[in-house]
Chain A
Amino acid sequence: MSLSYPKRIFLTALVMLFGLLMIMAALWLPPVDREVDVMDSLFVIDITDSMNVQDVSFANENINRLDWAKEYTRQAILSMPCGSHAGLAIFSEARSLILMTPVEVCANYHDLMQMLSQFQPTMAWARSSEVSKALYTAIRQAKEITPQPTVVFLTDGHEAPPVHETLFPKFTDTPGEVPGIIIGIGGSDLMPIPKTNESGEIDGYWEINEVMHRDVYASSRGDAAELNENRPRTEHLSSQKKSHMETVAKRIGFEFISSPKSPQNLIKEMQKISEMRQQPVKYDLFVWLASIALVLLLLVFLPYSLFSKQHD
């Protein structure tokens, strides 16, 4: 490349003028509005005893299901764009209890984490774990919240007392009316379930004769009782109940994700099934304008002579 001296002087002057204009624009051009897709979510975390089973791993460390659920929730909240809302709820007995209705995730991150860190088995108000019913209450309560959040239900799917296939609690709402995702937690091997005492410490394990092994209602029906006869008695042990959660998810129109690897799995699924809200955010273009000025200026000073011989 070789340009005559007057041409070079002309181009340099032109570039300098443009550079100056770009810097001025970077300083004084008002921010533009940009639409960002934000989501509203309600995280329901299972705090029943079976969540104390240590059969999941995080960053190569063996941790219990509840800690995994809390860490996954934290990461999912972190992955949401500012302007998204997240609420927190716990599940014990046969209901979901909302503890914080959805709040903006960036401004309230600290408070969300403070509350999340408090979730522990001692908060349970009863010692049963009726997952399906808890899902139904979560759906009903999500409907009372505006804007209606997508329910994210983190559980191992362990029903205690067990539910017989033909005696499922009836779901009276419209499936899919409230979008939701069940996140399945736990390993595939049956593990003993730790018992916790009042202060939340692990105090022995649930024994085979301390839990119910069949649906109480099914055992009172002649046919079902027969049907149940030869089933193994394993309800004192727990694993991730994938097929059960799949069935329940289908019934209520939820998605089911088993042991997701990254919070992105959840975020992508949420973007697919829930209505995104558009939130305008102010976006300052100064980075782009300053970069243009910078590139222009460098064009003047690049050592062209290294690539080609210059002639006057």
Chain B
Amino acid sequence: MMLLGLEWAFPLVLLLLPVALLPWFNNNLDKTVAWTALVPHDPLSRTISLSLKVLSSVVIAALLLAVASPAIPERTVERFGEGAEIVLLLDRSRSMDDAFAVTTQAANYSVAGDNSKRRVAKTYLTEFVKKRPDDRFGFVFFSTNSINLLPLTYSKEAILSTIEANSLGKGLSDTNLADALMNSAIMFEDQPYRGARIVLLVSDGGQLMTDEAMEQITKRYKEMNLSIYWIYLKSRQEMTLEPSENDNILYTDIPERKVHEFFKTIGVPYRAFEAGSLEEFSDAMDEIDEQQYQTLIVEELVPHEPKADWFLWLALLAMLPLASSHLYSYWGVRKAHE
């Protein structure tokens, strides 16, 4: 429960606070005197007795407040960090189950276990995420209908577990790139601009998109000032995204190149990394890592801080003179009765 800006674990204890007044209605320690008029008028004694009552009340109240276990509730603070906000777009299609960076055509179609493209992508992305303490990551579920599965979060555990889950099991039969790209942009919608915004696409192929979809994507990406990074996992070593002179005729019209062309025309920062080997993949990740250190507003979650110690200190400070005075009177009384 919240009270006075603090969160109290046992708020009901506070109902006992009136017992702090007990010392004022109490005469357990009074000495019965036959005739009070005989007691000399002593202002110092009166002050001392009054302050002892005050101290007793303070100790009782402070202890009650401490037992109610107050804490400053969990809160977010903003600080400046270095990094970026990155939405991960991992291809989950069946072809990502195939082995990565193979040289023979036959091996291309073998069912790959640990070195499937999806597993390799997981390994490097995990490393990348761990290297970037201030980044916020989001994750788009890439299927027939893409879903903004994990909205931008600072929790490394959450994003790493989502990346790990993505590497389990088999791929999906149908994926929709245009929809996924649109959804990645939506992830940044209604978010204050905190720093560099990146859509990081990791895939082994492209898809033809309708003109309408391309128009919408162009508009959105420009409006929202997004950068696109595409790590293209090559199926065949000699395939390139840029056409070259001695191109195999098979490559001239493939969807990958069309997507590449389209990304270049959007007019937002765009880099493609063609990874044909594990080193190239890791180099691509390193290069993104080096480039993306701009100022970023980082929201940090400060966990709730127990503050019972404040009241324990107060109780202690009041208790010290109180206990001393009682020990002193015990000493005095003993002396008197000797």
- Binding between chains A and B: yes
A interface residues, Cβ below 8 angstroms from B: 5-6, 8-10, 12-13, 16-17, 19-20, 23-24, 26-27, 87, 89, 95-104, 107-108, 110-112, 114-115, 118, 120, 122-123, 125-126, 137, 141, 144-145, 198, 284, 286-287, 290-291, 293-294, 297-298, 300-305, 310-312
A125-B25 in contact given A10-B330, A27-B316, A101-B164 (Cβ < 8 Å): no
* A16-B69 Cα distance, complex, nearest whole Å: 23
**A23 B316 Cβ-Cβ under 8 A:** yes
**B329 A122 Cβ-Cβ under 8 A:** no
Q: Which of A6, A12, A125, A141 contacts B326 (CB 8 A)?
A: A12
**A12 B29 Cβ-Cβ under 8 A:** yes
Of the listed residues B25, B313, B333, B337, the one surrounded by the most CB atoms of chain A closer than 10 A to its CB is B333
Of the listed residues B25, B169, B172, the one surrounded by the most CB atoms of chain A closer than 10 A to its CB is B169
> Which residues from chain A contact B169 at a C-beta distance below 8 Å?
95-98, 137, 141
Of the listed residues B10, B25, B145, B309, the one surrounded by the most CB atoms of chain A closer than 10 A to its CB is B145
> Which residues from chain A contact B144 at a C-beta distance below 8 Å?
125
* A305-B327 Cα distance, complex, nearest whole Å: 23
**B28 A300 Cβ-Cβ under 8 A:** yes
**A27 B151 Cβ-Cβ under 8 A:** no
**B67 A294 Cβ-Cβ under 8 A:** yes
B196 to chain A, nearest CB (A): 22
**A122 B312 Cβ-Cβ under 8 A:** no
**B327 A16 Cβ-Cβ under 8 A:** yes
> Which residues from chain B contact A17 at a C-beta distance below 8 Å?
323, 327
Instruction: Give the number of residues in B that approach A within 8 Å (Cβ atoms).
Output: 61
**B67 A287 Cβ-Cβ under 8 A:** yes
> Which residues from chain A contact B23 at a C-beta distance below 8 Å?
301
Per-position contact with A for B257-282: 1 when CB-CB < 8 Å, else 0?
00000000000000000000000000
**B319 A141 Cβ-Cβ under 8 A:** no
* A12-B174 Cα distance, complex, nearest whole Å: 80
**A125 B172 Cβ-Cβ under 8 A:** yes
Q: Does B27 contact A (CB under 8 A)?
A: yes
> Which residues from chain A contact B151 at a C-beta distance below 8 Å?
114
> Which residues from chain A contact B64 at a C-beta distance below 8 Å?
294
**B330 A13 Cβ-Cβ under 8 A:** yes
**A16 B28 Cβ-Cβ under 8 A:** no
**A144 B168 Cβ-Cβ under 8 A:** yes
**B319 A99 Cβ-Cβ under 8 A:** no
B20 to chain A, nearest CB (A): 10
A294-B155 in contact given A10-B330, A98-B169 (Cβ < 8 Å): no
**A298 B29 Cβ-Cβ under 8 A:** no
A286-B312 in contact given A9-B330, A297-B56, A298-B22 (Cβ < 8 Å): yes
Within 8 A of A (CB), among B54-84: 56, 59-60, 63-64, 66-67, 69
A66 to chain B, nearest CB (A): 14
> Which residues from chain B contact A304 at a C-beta distance below 8 Å?
28
Per-position contact with A for B1-42: 1 when CB-CB < 8 Å, else 0?
000000000100000000100110111110110000000000
Q: Does B173 contact A (CB under 8 A)?
A: yes
Q: Which of B29, B143, B308, B330 contacts A123 (CB 8 A)?
A: B143
**B333 A5 Cβ-Cβ under 8 A:** yes
A24-B333 in contact given A103-B161, A111-B153 (Cβ < 8 Å): no
Q: Which of A126, A141, A298, A312 contacts B60 (CB 8 A)?
A: A298
Of the listed residues A6, A12, A115, the one surrounded by the most CB atoms of chain B closer than 10 A to its CB is A115
**A312 B143 Cβ-Cβ under 8 A:** no
**Closest residue of B by beta carbon distance from A289:** B312
Q: Does B147 contact A (CB under 8 A)?
A: yes
* Shortest beta-carbon contacts, A-B, top 7: A13-B330, A111-B158, A16-B323, A301-B22, A312-B32, A294-B63, A98-B165
* A122-B31 Cα distance, complex, nearest whole Å: 83
**Closest residue of A by beta carbon distance from B173:** A125
> Which residues from chain A contact B330 at a C-beta distance below 8 Å?
9-10, 12-13
Q: Which of B141, B168, B174 contacts A141 (CB 8 A)?
A: B168
* A10-B327 Cα distance, complex, nearest whole Å: 8
**B155 A6 Cβ-Cβ under 8 A:** no
* A26-B319 Cα distance, complex, nearest whole Å: 13
Q: Does B108 contact A (CB under 8 A)?
A: no
> Which residues from chain A contact B320 at a C-beta distance below 8 Å?
20
**Closest residue of B by beta carbon distance from A14:** B330
**B165 A101 Cβ-Cβ under 8 A:** yes
**B326 A16 Cβ-Cβ under 8 A:** yes
Within 8 A of A (CB), among B159-183: 161-162, 164-166, 168-170, 172-174
Of the listed residues A5, A23, A96, A122, the one surrounded by the most CB atoms of chain B closer than 10 A to its CB is A23
Within 8 A of A (CB), among B312-338: 312-313, 315-316, 319-320, 322-323, 326-327, 329-330, 333-334, 337
**B147 A297 Cβ-Cβ under 8 A:** no
Of the listed residues B69, B165, B174, the one surrounded by the most CB atoms of chain A closer than 10 A to its CB is B165
> Which residues from chain B contact A99 at a C-beta distance below 8 Å?
141, 149, 162, 165-166
